Structure formats: C-alpha cells, structure tokens
Amino acid sequence: MIFIILLILLAEVCGVAGQILFKKTINGLEAPDMRSHTSYLVFLKNVLRVPAVWIGFCCVGSGVAIWLTALAQADLSLVFPIDSMQYVVTLIAARIFLDEKMDRMKLGGTFLIMVGIALVAMS
C-alpha cells in the first residue's frame, strides 16, 4: 500500500521533472512569432536540439512506465486520487524552479480540478 503510494509519487516527480525541463528550455529560447508559420518550425527545431528536452522525454517516459507498473498492481480508485497530487507537485515545482507566481485563483482553481479528478476516479 505504502509502496504503491510511493511508486505513484515517484512517477509524478518524474513527469513533473520532465515538464520543468521543457519549460526551462523554452524560457531560455526566443519565443516564436505568432504571425509567422516558419518561425514555429524554427522554434520547434531549436527546442528539439537542446539535450535537456530529451532528458525531459526520458523523465516523462519513465514516469509513465512507473505509473503503469503501479496501475497494474493497485486498485484504480486508489491510484487516480493520488495521481491528482501531480497538480500540487507541479505548482510547487513551478514556484521553486521556474519562479512562477502563485495567487488565490490559481491555487483555488487547481484545488477544484483535483477534487473533480478524485470524483471522476471514484465513480
């Protein structure tokens, strides 16, 4: 039981680490010009050239693999509510590593989403 919970949390940390790496990479690059199609292609090419993005892929991939391992062993009604913790982990990580600002709307809205996901999972 505890093992499953730790496994899911580990999967979430992997997934969120991937997202942080993506966003960190993108923050360091020039954003594409919305009016130019070619600038999007150049932008995507630049993003895929950064090693951190590929490390991010590996993080997300191993997160999914760990998650599936947990899923195979545990009750779904347990896995999904714990999995909605990823929103909390994401906000904390975005605050720490990306210096993103938090406010009541964002925190409250994210909480509602988590409750909603837990309800969806229980049904």
Partner 1 sequence: MKKSGLTLGIFLLIIMTDIGESVAEILMKKGLIATGISSISMDNIREFIVMNASSYFIWAGVFIYILSFLAWIVILSRIELSVAFPIGSTSYIFVPILSIIFLHESVGVLRWVGILFIVAGIHFVSKSAKSRKKEPEKI
43 is a contact residue toward partner 1 (CB under 8 A): yes
Alpha-carbon distance of 85 to 112, in angstroms, equals: 12
* 20: nearest Cα among 67, 64, 62, 60: 60
Contact 4, 70 (CB under 8 A): yes
Alpha-carbon distance of 66 to 82, in angstroms, equals: 14
Residue 39 beta carbon to partner 1: minimum distance, rounded to whole angstroms: 11
Map residues 12-41 to x or -, x wherever contact with partner 1 holds by CB under 8 A.
Answer: -------xx-xx--xx-xxxxxx-----x-
Residues in contact with partner 1 by the rule CB under 8 A:
19-20, 22-23, 26-27, 29-34, 40, 43-44, 47, 87, 90-91, 94-95, 98, 100-106, 108-123
